[in-house]
Amino acid sequence: MMKQLLLSLFSALLVFFLHCTTTLAQSPAVSPALPPVVLSPPQPPALSPVQLPVPSPPQPPALSPIQIPLLSPALSPGPAPSSANVTAILEKAGKFNTLIWLLGNTKVGDQINTQISTSGQGITLFAPNDKAFSRLKSGTLNALSTHQTIQLVQFHVLPTCISLSQFQAVSNPLRTQAGLSDSFLLNVTASSSNQVSISTGLVNATVTANLYTDNQLAVYEVDKVLLPLQVFSPKSPAPAPVPSSSPPPPPSPQHHRPSSITSVDDSSATSLIRHAALSFGVAAIAAFSL
């Protein structure tokens, strides 16, 4: 039994020895090759771009502001002249035959066309239609002198072009072409709805239509003829004579002359004598002739 134990121990040692010998005889394992490390050359530090100062352009010397005189409204350029023709406008409307005749007869129509086409000054015309003229008393126009007829037509003309909306801001009274600043004036009022009313002091008229409007000419139809006070004002009757409070003067003394009766009697007697003498002579001549 002892033998067997030693044999087992020897066998175990032999196995251990062989194992150690085999392990030591083996070459050490080679680790896998690592990729070569490529060393990049050192980079120089990045330089920030140098901001070079940009030279500013030379500044011109400061100029003092030029004082430009403002143009007064009278010298400021006005609107361009108009090529409209007032007579053609009324003829196109078709119910202004009397006004057209008056504009032609008084030459006011030519004056309006010349003014708006050459001078650039605006014109506003209130145009009564034929029905408005027919309401006048018979013979009214024929009773006017030539000068009064011209004044009547010019009384319907304003020396500036006014639109319907501008009538709300006008300052009354308005001057017309018929007179100076203190005569032949019109009062014109307008509502917020552009309803325009005209008063002459004798007539109250209303604008019923806008016939034509541009920057130089405005033509409005009115329902009545505008009668100026200076031409159609009612004449007051002559005042009655005022009775005198002083007593009547005494009758002047009369010179005494022979009574007319006496004179008549004397002349009658003389006629009778002459008649009797003539009769006696005739009778005597007749007696002698017998």
Whether residue 155 contacts residue 198, with contact meaning beta carbons closer than 8 Å, is answered with no
Interior/surface letters 13-29, b for 16+ CB within 10 angstroms, e for the rest: eeeeeeeeeeeeeeeee
Q: What pLDDT, on the 0 to 100 scale, is given for residue 235?
A: 61
pLDDT (tens digit per residue) in 160-199: 999 999 999 999 999 999 987 678 999 999 988 889 999 9
Strands 123-128 and 196-199: what pairing?
A: unpaired
From CA 27, how far away is CA 7, in angstroms rounded? Answer: 32
How far is CA 81 from each of CA 86, 180, 222, rounded to the nearest angstrom?
Answer: 14, 25, 25
109-136 mean pLDDT: 92
- CA 49 to chain CA centroid, Å, is 70
Q: What pLDDT, on the 0 to 100 scale, is given for residue 52?
A: 55
148-157 mean pLDDT: 96
Show the tokens assigned to 144: 């006017």
Specify the CATH number of the domain 86-222: 2.30.180.10
Q: What pLDDT, on the 0 to 100 scale, is given for residue 192?
A: 84
From CA 79, how far away is CA 167, in angstroms rounded? Answer: 19
How far is CA 135 from each of CA 7, 83, 128, rounded to the nearest angstrom?
Answer: 168, 33, 11
121-138 mean pLDDT: 94
Q: What pLDDT, on the 0 to 100 scale, is given for residue 258?
A: 44
Centre a 10 Å sphere on the Cβ of residue 116 and count the other Cβ atoms it contains: 23
Q: Which residues lie below 8 Å from residue 106, measured CB to CB, with a gap of 6+?
A: 149, 150, 153
How far is CA 70 from each of CA 67, 73, 80, 120, rounded to the nearest angstrom?
Answer: 9, 9, 21, 21
Q: Comparing 28-32, 83-87, 94-98, 240-244, which segment has the lowest mean pLDDT?
A: 28-32
What distance separates the 2 farthest-apart alpha carbons in the chain? 268
Whether residue 173 contacts residue 187, with contact meaning beta carbons closer than 8 Å, is answered with yes
Centre a 10 Å sphere on the Cβ of residue 226 and count the other Cβ atoms it contains: 23
138-162 mean pLDDT: 95
Phi and psi at residue 141, in whole multiples of 5°?
-70, -40
Centre a 10 Å sphere on the Cβ of residue 173 and count the other Cβ atoms it contains: 16
Helix, strand, or coil (residue 124): strand
> Residue ranges of the domains in the chain?
86-222
219-230 mean pLDDT: 95
Strands 174-175 and 157-158: what pairing?
A: unpaired
pLDDT (tens digit per residue) in 37-48: 555 555 655 655
Q: What pLDDT, on the 0 to 100 scale, is given for residue 100?
A: 97
* pLDDT at residue 31 tops 80: no
121-148 mean pLDDT: 94
pLDDT (tens digit per residue) in 249-275: 665 555 444 444 444 445 555 666 666
Q: What pLDDT, on the 0 to 100 scale, is given for residue 72?
A: 42
The pTM is what? 0.56
pLDDT (tens digit per residue) in 41-85: 556 556 555 565 555 665 655 545 544 344 344 444 555 667 889
From CA 5, how far away is CA 248, in angstroms rounded? Answer: 207
* pLDDT at residue 26 tops 60: no
